[in-house]
Chain A
């Protein structure tokens, strides 16, 4: 089974900050990596697929990069609406989520 290690688990930041979240896969998953945003009491929302493809309607301040075993989600300038929990998901071998990163107000 493919394991996903996401870090950090919590991130304190201010509006306007540049934020980076990392996911590492236990084996090569090519670019089969997606990022989701979840707000309290809501279902997750797909932000990025295939490691770097921004979904329609997602602000351009979000970007994804990486391939193989190491991936990053970057928010270039954090906005109030971005305070949420973010999950990576590998979809190469079945499906596995990372543990999540809560982005909170500093």
Chain B
């Protein structure tokens, strides 16, 4: 049973930094990548970032490019989203979601964690 558990959400001041973790279980960690998706209060879903199965490919949405980074630690079965230069508009619930390749090889967001709330406020 695939399980993803996010942690690290907190209240942080504008301009500050925060790192979210996504602990994974129930699948062969080294074979899969992860997506990060966020949802501002009362708003829709926004794709944020992706890291592939071996960490060689990392992609970011335009709104976070240059400020956020993603990484993975295979020994701990954990993915990370490091967020720098945080702004009020980064306030959201952040989800991690397992990347699963469909039959044509395109990445799909399959299993999701429960989310972690990040609030950027002075």
Residues of A within 8 A of B (CB-CB), count: 23
Interface residues of B in 21-79 (CB under 8 A from A): 35, 37, 44-47, 50, 59, 61-62
Q: A11-19, A43-51, A57-65: which lies at the B interface?
A: A43-51
Q: Does B80 contact A (CB under 8 A)?
A: no
Are B107 and A50 in contact (CB-based, < 8 A)? no
Interface residues of B toward A: which range? 20 to 34
Complex Cα spacing A53 to B110, Å = 14
Residue of B nearest to A1 (CB): B62
Are B108 and A49 in contact (CB-based, < 8 A)? yes
Q: Does A99 contact B (CB under 8 A)?
A: yes
Complex Cα spacing A1 to B63, Å = 12
Residue of A nearest to B62 (CB): A1
Complex Cα spacing A44 to B97, Å = 10
